[in-house]
Structure formats: structure tokens, C-alpha cells
Amino acid sequence: MTYPSVYPTGATLYDPRRCWNGYTVFQAKEAGALLIDMNGGEVQLWKRFHGMPNRILPGGYLLGSTGERSTAFGVQDGIDLVQVDWDGGIVWKFDQYEYIEDPGEEPRWMARQHHDYQREGNPVGYYVPGMEPLVDRGNTLILSHKNLRNPKVCDRLLLDDTIIEITWEGEVIWEWVCSDHFEELGFREEAKNLMFRNPNWRPAGGGIGDWMHINSMSLLGPNRWFDGGDRRFHPDNIIWCARETNITAVIDKKTGKIVWQLGPYYDQTPEQRELGWIVGQHHAHMIPRGLPGEGNILIFDNGGWAGYGAPNPGSPTGFRNALRDYSRVLEIDPLTLKVVWQYTPVEAGLTFPVDANRFYSPFISSAQRLPNGNTLVTEGSGGRLIEITPGHKIVWEYISPYWGKMMKINMIYRAYRVPYEWVPQNPRPQERPIERIAVTRFRVPGASPGGPKREVNVKGVLPYRSDAALCVQTNGEDGPSANE
Amino acid sequence: MSHILFTAAGCARCNITRNFIREKGIAYEEHNINGEGKELFGRFYRDHRSAVVRGKEGIEFPVLADAASVRQGVGRIIAYLHSGTKLDGFINRNSLSKGWIDGLHVSGGDPALKEEFIEVLGFLKKNGMKLQLDTNGKNSSLLKDLLERELGDRVIMDLKGPQSLYRGLLGEEIKTTEIIETMQLVTRFPEYRFETTVVPFIRQGGLVGYLTPEEIEETAQWLREVTGNLKQPYILRLFVPETSSDERLPSVRKPSPDALFRYRTAARKHQVLTEVEKVPG
């Protein structure tokens, strides 16, 4: 993966005519919650206000957290989930899920929130026409953590994922605990064996197994599958995905049981094999009614390393045995598992596979379907946001200029685009096109201009071949593979 | 032969029972259901199906039969051989395995018989059984004796509800001082927990209603005040109408398991570790 050490940050590309224009909010590394306009103008920073993720609500409200539990004792435990107003005033807060007494820390209640939450009124937490999240009432679903033991998974302490529903007043009225459904997940014996010995061991608090690592959670909302009689897709049901096991699943809100599942294996049916192995995915959700592609499942399929299974040369123990060094954004029909739309290195115009890792985030990341059919993609590890048309053209690009001082990375966990109207406090910004810079001619100050000072000819040379062979097969050389 | 003892191969509880019988010099006839006694037990089981409980892991052995009754499980059999039916209130069916025995109801029997109860528990303990006691607050002096004699490895207190409703929920008279003494004693056992079942009960005026979240909050607050600790292991349980002995209650609508979460939120204001009992799906 070749990354230059010098490259521009902020907005680098913008076609206002083809974008779905609005504000974008994200957690700027070690800075706070940042709201930007389409030209990358920093409209407002809620300083040091955490968020995994941050979300803007109508009226200029912001959801996030006031902090994170010490990593000596927890893994990504958000202390609370908080709604603040435009001026940073706290208007709603929840933290009463677990009373925590970490050594050397003040005892306190914590939400242990991580990765996702959903406010009533909107199933997925991003803009959908006619589905505005409530700002002064309503329940909230929160993805949280709970430490527990479940000998079916492992005989040691587990960091389990839970989903809770709380009222506006902060009462917990529903709870779903992932490990209660271990036997429904369909792991093969080799995976169970490995998981028992290494449930993704993290050192926090003396050691704890982050065995699933659920990283997204949303409601299905109204959808055509349920309207057609398929009760698995009841609007109240919840979809989540878990990076460590490569599983995306829908749970029945009433019974808690898993009613639809993708993964952990992708080699059992022709449809799964055609789909390919989804690895370490993030932000799996059903595209809500009212947006192009409604009813399909949108997933940022990270690649990277994930899964429990049989050993292979890249995974001598079988831990994180699925490996891939590029990412894919997939829009999948949940019934046929056919890919309806995708953005992979091929659609990005990269030579596959040799240059595929230029579209690659092995962790975090997301995809949001926009009302005009475009997709806002967070390619998280490199802090890159892109808006892509259905025809795969990049019409907006932004690189985060916020590198952490403690963690030297400009990562963005997940960004969201919201309409200008949701932030009435700010005058509608001017939209100025940003043309693509011709990188073949662009030089930084001090660099010599391009082009040779002198050219000479060599007698007898042949022209370059358009079908030149590389050391490895590329996508221009499709033929029978060794497996066929 | 007055007593017939059915045992299973490799059954530690059967060995303890046999030891007791031999120690007391009681005449008996033993049949191993994995050997020569298989057919005999099969016939016996068909004739006494209602008296022999088959749990999730099968039939618990030993099983004892005499002319008067059928007894199942080491505790029930030894208590019967020791004192006849006098200890029935104290010792009931066991549901635990792996060296533990439960069904030991400190509040269930006549305290005048406490020495006999203690002798039975002492024999079980001496033979390596771990004892799980339960109490609802009654017979606190017996609980104290058991604590002092180390005859309780775990105790579960069925904390019926708030102080103001306790007698009504228990269905009999009890002094508040006795409940408080029990709550304090419970915390001194090697393992313990408090449990409250969110039950319906007949309120003043004859109306049937469930305990409310506010009443559970009051219960948790009382537990905190009495024990001086806001981190007691405290479990809230769902009422199962079918198991109620009060004929007015089985017709009460069964609450949703999710209903307990509101109660948990209320209880956690005073007992921060409060959890809801998991209901098998």
C-alpha cells in the first residue's frame, strides 16, 4: 500500500451539481465532534466531545458522549450517551446501565455504550425523508457492553455485547444479550474450539474476551419484505453486525431470536460463494424506505482480518483466519444475496488486485445511502470520506486533517451527511466546485516542474503493450484458475 | 424388608445414603438400576410415576421406598430415615448437581425440630455435600445456628418485598426484627444472594395487583439500609402464575419478561448490581 507522506487534506474534490449537498459530521481524532460544509469549511467543533459515532439531530442537536472509560479496565466503553444543543448544553443524558468501580477511579454509573445507538423516529440514524429522529422525547436503542461468563463460549470472562432500549427518562425497558444466542449463530466445531481458547482476548481489566465485537445496530424500519409477508423483517426487528465473527444478523425484537443471518461462513451455498467472504464488516444496515435501494442491506465489507476457523498459512491458529487487503461496499438483496450495487477497487478504477489496497480500511468505516442515490462512504482508517454516484464516480472527497497526538492516525469512525435544514443556526453555506487536481502536473513549492529537460530516441524500441504482464495475474487476465 | 433403596452406578449421593443407613443400623435392600435392579426399578417406576421426579438430567438417585412412602434424593431420604416426616418442611426436593444440594428451607419447618435438621445437614456436610440454604426471613435463630456451625455454603434469601408489605406477601405473621436479623446473617455466609419475585398479591380492598417498581425500589432501599451496602447480589424474578398455590392467582395475567427491566431500573437506585433472572427461551 503506497501512501505518500505529503498529500492535501480537507475537501479535495467537489461537484455541487452531482452531490447531495449538506453538512457532514464526524469525530475528528482527539479534537471533538466536527461539523463541516461541502467545501470542508469547519462550521463548528464541539471541543473534546466524544462520539462513536456522533450524530446530528434536527435543530442542530448533537449526540455523542462526554468520555470513554479507562482502557485499563474497559474496551471502548462510552461513559454515557448525551444529547447536546448547538451551544454545547446538555439536554439529555443516559448513563445508568452499570455501576462501575474501577481501581483508582471515582465509582460511577456508565452506559458502556459503544459503536451505535438509534433514537426513535428514524431506524438508522441518518437522514431519511419523513423519518426524523425525535429530539425532545422518545426511546433510544443503545449498543452496550456487559461483562459476563458463558461457558458455552469460553470459561473466562467475556466482554459481551448487549442492546438496550431506554426511555427518554432513562429507564431501561428492554435488553438483549448476545451470548444468550450463541447456539443460534451456527459456528462450526473448529471455531467453537478456537473461541473457547481465544475469544479475542483483550488485556483490559485483567483480561476479557471481546468474542463478537458487534459494531453496528439499527432498526429495519418499514420495508417491502415485511409488507410482502416476510415476518423476519418486521420493522421493529434489529440488524447488527459483528466484526470478529463476520456475522450480520437480524434479531426478532419480541423474542430476541436470530431470524436472518449472513455469515460466519460464505462457502455453503452458491449464493454465498458468489457473494464472497465478508470480512470484519461495519455498519451493516437496511436502507430505509424512501431512499434509493430501500430494503437492501448496505455493508462496508472491510477486509483485513477476522473470523474463527481452520488454520491457514496467514492464520496459523485459525484466529482471524479470513484475510483480505482491500475493502468493498456492498448493497445486497437480503433474500437472494445478490449484489445489487457495489463499490470495490474495480469500480474505483484501480488495477485489481495489485493496486486494490488503495481502497482499504481494515477497521471502522461506513456507508450511508443518500436521497439522490449517491453513497457517502467513510474509508475510516485513512480518514477519507467520499461521495460516490450510482455510476461509481467520486463527486466529493475529503481527507481529515485531524491526526491524533496520542494515537497518530487521522481515522474517522463513521461520518454522516445531514440536510442544511437540520442546522438552522448556521446560514446556508456557499457551494464552490473543487476541480480534480491533475496530480501528474501538481508540484509542491520547491519541487522541480515536471517533464524531462532533454529527450533522446533509441533505435529499434517497440511501443509499450497495452496487455503488459505483471508478476501476478490482474483483472485483465481472467482465465481458469487452479481451482477450476 | 421394610426399605428398598434404588441406587445408580458411580452415584456419590447413593454412597452417602448407604453410609447413613449402615451407620444407623437400618435394615434395607439395595438394587442397582444399572445392574440387577434394572427391571425391578422399571416396574417400580411405572407403578409410582407420580412420586418419582424426572428432571432435565434424568431421574435423580437414590430413591427409597417403604410401605408408607417413596423418597427421592439424598437429603429427603436421610431426613426421612432420621425423623420420619417431621422434617418435610425443612427439606424438599433437590435440583442441583456437582456436589451441591438445595431444597433446604430454613424457614419451612418447625424451629422446635432444629436440632434434628442440624444433624441431617451435618451428616450431608460431613460427607462432602455443599449446602445451599434458602430463607424468607423466618427462623432467624436457626439460620444463626447454621452460620455458626458452618452448615451453609450458600444462602438465598427470598426477600418478599418492602417492609410495609412483608407480612401480607409472606402470608403469615413475622416480626420485622426477625427479617432484619436474617438479612444481616445472610451476608455473612460464604456465598449468598437476595431474590425478590415480582408477585401479584391481594391488596387492601381485595384487588389483585403486582408489586410495583416503586415497591421494589423500596425493597432495595431497605436492603441497603439494613446491610449498609449498595452492592448486594440482588435478583428480580418473574412470577409464574401456573406455579402459584393461591387459586386466585393462576388466572392473573403472566407478565412479559421485559417488564422486569423497569423494576431493575428502580431497584438499581439503591442496589446497583440488581439483575433480572434469565428466563430460558
Chain A touched by B278 (CB under 8 Å): yes
3-state SS string over A362-404? CCCCEEEECCCCCEEEEEHHHCEEEEECCCCCEEEEEECCCCC
Mean pLDDT within A290-311 = 97
Q: What is the bridge-based pairing of β-strands B234-238 and B191-198?
A: parallel
Count CA atoms within 13 Å of residue B98 on its CB side.
Answer: 0
**B208 part of a folded domain:** yes
Q: Domain with A134 in it: what CATH number?
A: 2.120.10.30
Tell me how many domains chain A contains: 1
Instruction: Provide the shortest C-alpha distance from residue A102 to chain B (in Å).
Output: 14
Per the model's pLDDT, the better-predicted residue between A477 and A172 turns out to be A172
Chain A touched by B264 (CB under 8 Å): yes
CB contact under 8 A, B261 and A175: yes
CA of A253: which chain B residue's CA is closest? Answer: B258
- Using an 8 Å Cβ cutoff, are A80 and A51 in contact? no
Confidence of residue A484 (pLDDT cuts 50, 70, 90): very low
A332 pLDDT more than 90: yes
A347 pLDDT more than 80: yes
Q: How far is CA A390 from CA A327, A345, A372, A395, in A?
A: 18, 15, 9, 11
pLDDT in tens, B212-268: 999 999 999 999 999 999 999 999 999 887 777 666 666 677 778 888 999 999 999
Q: What's the domain range around B264?
A: 194-281
Mean pLDDT within A3-20 = 96
Q: How far is CA B222 from CA A389, A478, B134, B179, in A?
A: 62, 74, 19, 11
Instruction: Provide the shortest C-alpha distance from residue A63 to chain B (in Å).
Output: 23
Which of B268, B273, B275, B279 best tests the A interface by mutation, with the highest count of A CBs <10 A?
B268
DSSP A231: G
Q: Which of B83, B107, B124 is the last residue of a domain?
A: B83
**B21 part of a folded domain:** yes
Res A2: pLDDT: 66
C-alpha closest to that of B184 among B155, B149, B209, B213: B155
Count CA atoms within 13 Å of residue A309 on its CB side.
Answer: 21
C-alpha closest to that of B196 among B143, B227, B156: B156
3-class secondary-structure state, position A360: coil
Q: Which of B34, B51, B83 is the last residue of a domain?
A: B83
pLDDT in tens, A201-250: 999 999 999 999 999 999 999 999 999 999 999 999 999 999 999 999 99
Which of A139, A173, A176, A177 best tests the B interface by mutation, with the highest count of B CBs <10 A?
A173
How far apart CA A287 and CA A272 sit, in angstroms, is: 21
CA of A254: which chain B residue's CA is closest? Answer: B258
Res A482: pLDDT: 39
Interface of B with A in 196-255 (CB under 8 A): 231
**B100 part of a folded domain:** no
pLDDT in tens, B117-129: 999 999 999 999 9
Mean pLDDT within B81-100 = 89
Chain A touched by B265 (CB under 8 Å): yes
**A78 part of a folded domain:** yes
How far apart CA B276 and CA B256 sit, in angstroms, is: 12
Residue whose C-alpha cell is 444468550: A180
Rg (CA), chain A: 23
* AA identity, residue A40: G
**B231 part of a folded domain:** yes
B280 pLDDT more than 90: no
> How much of chain A exceeds pLDDT 90, in percent?
94
Res B67: pLDDT: 84
How far apart CA A260 and CA A481 sit, in angstroms, is: 33
How far apart CA B225 and CA B273 sit, in angstroms, is: 15
Confidence of residue B2 (pLDDT cuts 50, 70, 90): confident
Mean pLDDT within B80-96 = 90
Edge-to-edge order in the sheet of strand B70-72: B29-32, B4-7, B63-65, B70-72
pLDDT in tens, A169-213: 999 999 999 999 999 999 999 999 999 999 999 999 999 999 999
Confidence of residue A54 (pLDDT cuts 50, 70, 90): very high
Q: What's the domain range around A242?
A: 10-422
Chain A residues touching residue B262 (CB < 8 angstroms): 171-173
Dihedral sign for Cα A125, A129, A134, A136, please.
positive
Chain A touched by B273 (CB under 8 Å): yes
**B154 part of a folded domain:** no
Confidence of residue A481 (pLDDT cuts 50, 70, 90): very low
**A122 part of a folded domain:** yes
- Pick from B265, B272, B278: which is nearest to A99 by CB? B272
Interface of B with A in 153-172 (CB under 8 A): none
How far apart CA B167 and CA B179 sit, in angstroms, is: 10
Q: What is the DSSP string of A193-213?
A: HHHHH-SSEE-GGG-EE--S-
What angle separates helix B260-267 from helix B213-227, to the nearest 10 degrees? 40
- Using an 8 Å Cβ cutoff, are A265 and A286 in contact? no
**B124 part of a folded domain:** no
CB contact under 8 A, A173 and B258: yes
Burial class (CB in 10 A: 0-12, 13-18, 19+), B127: middle
pLDDT in tens, B183-217: 999 999 999 999 999 999 888 887 888 999 999 99
**A366 part of a folded domain:** yes
CA of B260: which chain A residue's CA is closest? Answer: A173
Q: Omega of the bond prior to A264 within 30 degrees of 0, cis?
A: yes
Q: How far is CA A242 from CA A151, A192, A246, B260, in A?
A: 20, 16, 6, 28
Tell me how many domains chain B contains: 2
> How much of chain B exceeds pLDDT 70, in percent?
96
**A301 part of a folded domain:** yes
Question: What value of ipTM does the predicted structure carry?
Answer: 0.75
**A34 part of a folded domain:** yes
Query: In degrees rounded to 5, what are phi and psi of residue A112?
Result: 55, 30
Q: Domain with B29 in it: what CATH number?
A: 3.40.30.10
Q: What is the DSSP string of A63-112?
A: EEES-B--TTT-SS-BS-EEEE-TTS-EEEEE-TTEEE--TTS--EEE--
Q: Which of B63, B83, B103 is the last residue of a domain?
A: B83
Helix-strand-coil split of chain B, %, nearest 5: 40, 20, 40
Mean pLDDT within A141-162 = 97
CB contact under 8 A, B273 and A99: yes
Res B50: pLDDT: 87
* AA identity, residue A421: E
Mean pLDDT within A5-30 = 97
Res B278: pLDDT: 84
A477 pLDDT more than 70: no
**A467 part of a folded domain:** no
Mean pLDDT within A73-81 = 96
Res B51: pLDDT: 87
- Using an 8 Å Cβ cutoff, are A22 and A29 in contact? no
Burial class (CB in 10 A: 0-12, 13-18, 19+), B227: middle
CB contact under 8 A, B268 and A255: no
**B105 part of a folded domain:** no
C-alpha closest to that of A135 among A64, A65, A59: A59
Rg (CA), chain B: 21
3-class secondary-structure state, position A434: strand
Res A478: pLDDT: 60
pLDDT in tens, A273-286: 999 999 999 999 99
How far apart CA A392 and CA A395 sit, in angstroms, is: 9
**A483 part of a folded domain:** no
